[in-house]
Amino acid sequence: MDETREPVPLSESQTEMTEMLLPDSTNDLGRALGGVVLHWMDICGAISAMRFANRQCVTASMDHVDFIAPIDLGEIAVIKAYAFNTGRTSVDVKVDVHSEDPRTGEKQETTTSFLTFVAIDSDGNPTTVPDVVCETDAETQLRQEAVEKRQAELESIIERMREEY
């Protein structure tokens, strides 16, 4: 049975993971395989959604993924995620990845996407999630930027589909 839940601060969902890019996760150019990066993003996003909902969450969708720059062998990948919006049973999470060269300290944005997760109860059925609340101006801005960027991406997809069909 669904229950009404108290709003949860965006900060409760903020999650950061780090991974070192090793040879078994690279292509023949010594760069991260796209599937490996997507795997890291899915895990980080799921942890963020579960922290937020205080429930088991499963991946429902991953929006368009932008691979902005490569991650090279030996670099550190930093994956950051936070919940920015909810539906009745779903949690929308923004996931960003950047690389760090441990020898120089140089950082570079590499990948970004929006993922949607569904909270499930102990029987595996979708269950309600709380609303997102922002406790600081910085959280409000972070949330607003995510909402606006996702909306712009969805509008772009609709426009491309109209042009193609």
Q: Does domain 7-164 have CATH number 3.10.129.10?
A: yes
In the numeric block, the tokens 């309600």 are attached to 128
Amino acid at 77: A
Interatomic CA distance for residues 135 and 93, integer angstroms = 18
Structure tokens that stand for 53 in this block: 């909902």
71 half-sphere exposure, CB direction, 13 A CA radius: 31
Sequence ranges of the domains in the chain: 7-164
Strands 66-67 and 76-86: unpaired
Query: What band does 4 get if pLDDT is binned at 50, 70 and 90?
Result: low
Secondary structure (3-state) at 55 = coil
pLDDT in tens, 17-49: 999 999 999 999 999 999 999 999 999 999 999
Percent of the chain with pLDDT over 90: 88
Structure tokens that stand for 57 in this block: 């969450």
Query: What band does 7 get if pLDDT is binned at 50, 70 and 90?
Result: very high
For position 157, what pLDDT does the model report? 86
For position 135, what pLDDT does the model report? 97
End-to-end CA distance of the chain: 42
| CA-closest candidate to residue 106, choices 98, 114, 117 | 98
- pLDDT above 70 (res 2): no
pLDDT in tens, 106-122: 999 999 999 999 999 99
pLDDT in tens, 81-106: 999 999 999 999 999 999 999 999 99
Secondary structure (3-state) at 108 = strand
Contacts made by residues 58-61, CB under 8 angstroms, sequence distance 24+: 58/117, 58/118, 58/120, 59/115, 59/116, 59/117, 60/90, 60/116, 60/117, 60/118, 61/115, 61/116
Mean pLDDT of the chain: 95
Query: What band does 165 get if pLDDT is binned at 50, 70 and 90?
Result: confident
